[in-house]
A = this chain, B = another copy of it.
Amino acid sequence: MALEPIQSNSMSQSERDALIEPLCAVFRRTLKEEGLKYTPERAAILDTIIEIDGLFEADTLLETMKSRGHRVSKATVYRTLKLLEQSRIIQQVLFDRDQSHYQLSMGKRGSTLIIHVDTGDVESAEIPELIVLRDKLCAERGLKPEGHRLQIYVTSSES
Protein backbone atom coordinates (compact mmCIF):
# COMPACT_ATOMS: atom_id res chain seq x y z
CA MET A 1 0.00 0.00 0.00
CA ALA A 2 1.91 3.03 -1.25
CA LEU A 3 1.50 6.40 0.32
CA GLU A 4 0.11 9.07 -1.92
CA PRO A 5 1.33 12.63 -1.46
CA ILE A 6 -2.24 13.77 -1.10
CA GLN A 7 -2.79 15.58 2.19
CA SER A 8 -5.81 17.41 3.41
CA ASN A 9 -3.86 19.53 5.82
CA SER A 10 -1.35 21.19 3.53
CA MET A 11 -0.07 24.61 4.39
CA SER A 12 0.69 27.59 2.23
CA GLN A 13 4.29 28.48 1.63
CA SER A 14 4.08 31.35 4.09
CA GLU A 15 2.57 29.12 6.75
CA ARG A 16 5.42 26.70 6.26
CA ASP A 17 8.00 29.45 6.49
CA ALA A 18 6.41 30.72 9.68
CA LEU A 19 6.80 27.26 11.15
CA ILE A 20 10.46 26.76 10.55
CA GLU A 21 11.77 29.22 13.11
CA PRO A 22 9.72 28.07 16.08
CA LEU A 23 10.19 24.40 15.39
CA CYS A 24 13.92 24.87 15.03
CA ALA A 25 13.88 26.70 18.35
CA VAL A 26 12.03 23.86 20.03
CA PHE A 27 14.44 21.34 18.58
CA ARG A 28 17.52 23.34 19.62
CA ARG A 29 16.21 23.74 23.12
CA THR A 30 15.34 20.07 23.55
CA LEU A 31 18.71 19.05 22.22
CA LYS A 32 20.53 21.43 24.55
CA GLU A 33 18.54 20.11 27.49
CA GLU A 34 19.85 16.66 26.72
CA GLY A 35 23.39 17.83 26.13
CA LEU A 36 23.08 17.09 22.43
CA LYS A 37 24.20 19.20 19.51
CA TYR A 38 22.35 21.07 16.83
CA THR A 39 24.10 19.99 13.66
CA PRO A 40 23.61 20.98 10.00
CA GLU A 41 22.32 17.50 9.28
CA ARG A 42 19.66 17.70 11.96
CA ALA A 43 18.66 21.18 10.81
CA ALA A 44 18.38 20.01 7.21
CA ILE A 45 16.25 17.05 8.21
CA LEU A 46 13.79 19.19 10.14
CA ASP A 47 13.65 21.71 7.30
CA THR A 48 12.86 19.01 4.81
CA ILE A 49 10.15 17.52 7.01
CA ILE A 50 8.46 20.90 7.25
CA GLU A 51 8.74 21.25 3.50
CA ILE A 52 7.20 17.84 2.93
CA ASP A 53 4.27 18.91 5.09
CA GLY A 54 2.47 15.64 5.33
CA LEU A 55 3.04 11.98 5.86
CA PHE A 56 6.45 10.63 5.07
CA GLU A 57 8.64 7.62 5.61
CA ALA A 58 12.31 7.49 6.44
CA ASP A 59 13.06 6.53 2.90
CA THR A 60 10.92 9.24 1.30
CA LEU A 61 12.60 11.79 3.52
CA LEU A 62 16.03 10.61 2.51
CA GLU A 63 15.14 10.73 -1.18
CA THR A 64 13.65 14.20 -0.86
CA MET A 65 16.76 15.42 0.88
CA LYS A 66 19.00 13.99 -1.81
CA SER A 67 16.94 15.67 -4.51
CA ARG A 68 17.32 18.96 -2.61
CA GLY A 69 21.08 18.53 -2.64
CA HIS A 70 21.43 17.61 1.02
CA ARG A 71 23.85 14.78 1.66
CA VAL A 72 22.79 12.79 4.72
CA SER A 73 23.12 9.15 5.57
CA LYS A 74 20.29 6.78 6.24
CA ALA A 75 21.64 6.19 9.74
CA THR A 76 21.50 9.88 10.56
CA VAL A 77 17.96 10.14 9.26
CA TYR A 78 16.80 7.32 11.51
CA ARG A 79 18.69 8.72 14.48
CA THR A 80 17.26 12.18 13.94
CA LEU A 81 13.70 10.94 13.49
CA LYS A 82 13.96 9.38 16.90
CA LEU A 83 15.16 12.67 18.40
CA LEU A 84 12.39 14.64 16.70
CA GLU A 85 9.87 12.21 18.05
CA GLN A 86 11.26 12.63 21.55
CA SER A 87 10.99 16.38 21.09
CA ARG A 88 7.36 15.85 20.13
CA ILE A 89 7.98 17.72 16.87
CA ILE A 90 6.95 14.74 14.79
CA GLN A 91 4.92 11.67 15.64
CA GLN A 92 4.67 8.20 14.32
CA VAL A 93 1.17 8.08 12.97
CA LEU A 94 0.60 4.85 11.12
CA PHE A 95 2.39 1.68 10.61
CA ASP A 96 1.67 -0.68 7.85
CA ARG A 97 3.35 -4.00 7.83
CA ASP A 98 6.29 -2.49 6.06
CA GLN A 99 7.60 0.65 7.61
CA SER A 100 7.08 3.54 10.00
CA HIS A 101 5.26 6.68 8.96
CA TYR A 102 5.62 10.09 10.52
CA GLN A 103 4.11 13.54 10.38
CA LEU A 104 4.60 16.89 12.07
CA SER A 105 2.67 16.95 15.32
CA MET A 106 2.45 20.74 15.85
CA GLY A 107 1.06 20.53 19.30
CA LYS A 108 -1.70 18.07 18.60
CA ARG A 109 -1.44 14.97 20.65
CA GLY A 110 -3.23 12.66 18.33
CA SER A 111 -3.78 11.82 14.72
CA THR A 112 -6.68 10.61 12.65
CA LEU A 113 -6.04 9.17 9.23
CA ILE A 114 -8.48 8.05 6.60
CA ILE A 115 -6.97 5.21 4.64
CA HIS A 116 -8.49 4.24 1.31
CA VAL A 117 -7.96 0.52 1.19
CA ASP A 118 -8.68 0.36 -2.52
CA THR A 119 -6.42 3.14 -3.74
CA GLY A 120 -3.88 3.43 -0.95
CA ASP A 121 -4.53 7.15 -0.55
CA VAL A 122 -4.20 8.51 2.94
CA GLU A 123 -5.64 11.76 4.22
CA SER A 124 -5.68 13.45 7.58
CA ALA A 125 -8.86 14.33 9.43
CA GLU A 126 -9.83 16.12 12.57
CA ILE A 127 -12.38 14.71 14.99
CA PRO A 128 -12.50 17.01 18.00
CA GLU A 129 -15.21 14.89 19.61
CA LEU A 130 -12.75 12.02 19.69
CA ILE A 131 -10.61 13.85 22.23
CA VAL A 132 -13.65 14.19 24.44
CA LEU A 133 -14.44 10.49 24.21
CA ARG A 134 -10.82 9.59 24.81
CA ASP A 135 -10.45 11.79 27.86
CA LYS A 136 -13.72 10.54 29.30
CA LEU A 137 -12.64 6.94 28.91
CA CYS A 138 -9.28 7.67 30.49
CA ALA A 139 -10.84 9.61 33.36
CA GLU A 140 -13.15 6.68 34.11
CA ARG A 141 -10.15 4.46 34.49
CA GLY A 142 -7.88 6.88 36.30
CA LEU A 143 -5.50 7.12 33.37
CA LYS A 144 -3.74 10.10 31.88
CA PRO A 145 -4.06 10.33 28.10
CA GLU A 146 -0.76 10.99 26.36
CA GLY A 147 -1.93 10.82 22.78
CA HIS A 148 -3.81 8.66 20.36
CA ARG A 149 -3.87 7.38 16.82
CA LEU A 150 -6.98 6.55 14.87
CA GLN A 151 -6.95 4.92 11.49
CA ILE A 152 -10.20 4.65 9.58
CA TYR A 153 -10.26 2.23 6.67
CA VAL A 154 -12.62 3.15 3.88
CA THR A 155 -13.57 2.42 0.32
CA SER A 156 -14.92 4.98 -2.07
CA SER A 157 -18.67 4.87 -1.53
CA GLU A 158 -20.48 2.04 -3.33
CA SER A 159 -20.77 -1.32 -1.58
Contact = CB atoms under 8 A, between A and B. Distances in A.
A137 B127 contact: yes
Interface string A116-144: 11000000010101100110011001111
A146 interface: yes
A133 to B, nearest CB: 6
A156 B144 contact: yes
A158 B144 contact: yes
Contacts of A142: 156-157
A23 B144 CA distance: 37
Given A130-B130, A142-B156, 8 more contacts: A127-B133, A127-B137, A134-B152, A142-B157, A148-B151, A149-B149, A149-B151, A150-B151
Interface of A: 92, 95-97, 100, 114, 116-117, 125, 127, 129-130, 133-134, 137-138, 141-159
28 contacts: A92-B97, A95-B95, A95-B97, A97-B100, A114-B137, A114-B141, A114-B143, A117-B146, A127-B133, A133-B133, A137-B152, A142-B156, A143-B155, A143-B156, A144-B155, A144-B157, A144-B158, A144-B159, A145-B152, A145-B153, A145-B154, A146-B154, A146-B155, A147-B152, A148-B150, A148-B152, A149-B150, A149-B151
